[in-house]
Amino acid sequence: MASWNLRRAKHGIVIVAIALFTLALTACGGGGDNVENFEQIRTAPANYTIDDLKAFGLKANKQYDVEGLPDAVDAWKGFWGLDPYSRNDYEIRFYPSHEIAVASGKELAINATGAEFEATRDEQVWTEGVKDRWQARGVTDVSSGGSRQAPGPTYQDWAIVGNMVILCDGFDSEQALIRCASLINNFLPGDAG
């Protein structure tokens, strides 16, 4: 009887611990970045360049030719993450100002992400880097225990911060916006929102 009560008490502790952990993840948004309050377009205290992001820790691995990308002054593909073993891909396009980034970059960001990109992949306005915006992703098939490749857009959503248009990777829009928020909130910690 005593061992049964001990097992029951241990199960109770495990259940409480799991419940508290789940509650903590829910309350924190899984990583501290709340998509509900995320501002997809916002100003910034300065105009930035790739050097600012490199100094912050972004690993820039490919510079794109911006010919054909209206009003853009620079564009890069790179990766970043708080955990050096778990980084995410970003495409960052730089414009002369926030106003120009919104006016010239917003529609092209929408066109280069998510379902819109999937539908118009062969009809992109700016074709530089199109191959990088499409990837084969592993998808777990729980019915067979294996996995298969499911091609789709690399970048599921976007954000505009100051003069930067940022395309963020993810399995879906919500995950991409969480990753956008993480990059932005860590790059501009006093400007979280």
Q: What is the mean pLDDT of the chain?
A: 81
- pLDDT tier, 60 (very low <50, low <70, confident <90, very high otherwise): very high
Mean pLDDT value of segment 48-60: 96
pLDDT of 23 over the 50 cut: no
Mean pLDDT value of segment 87-99: 97
Contacts 24+ apart (CB under 8 A), 25-29: 29/178
- pLDDT tier, 144 (very low <50, low <70, confident <90, very high otherwise): very low
pLDDT of 184 over the 60 cut: yes
Helix, strand, or coil (residue 164):
strand
Q: Which of 109, 98, 101, 108 lies closest to 162 in space, CA to CA?
A: 98
**Which residue would you say has higher pLDDT here, 5 or 73?**
73
- Within 112-162, residue ranges assigned H as helices are 114-120
Domain ranges of the chain: 1-30, 39-191
Spatial distance between the Cα atoms of 160 and 5, rounded to a whole number of angstroms: 57
Mean pLDDT value of segment 138-161: 70
This prediction's pTM: 0.76
- pLDDT tier, 120 (very low <50, low <70, confident <90, very high otherwise): confident
Q: What are phi and psi of 156, to 5 degrees?
A: -95, -20
pLDDT at 36: 77
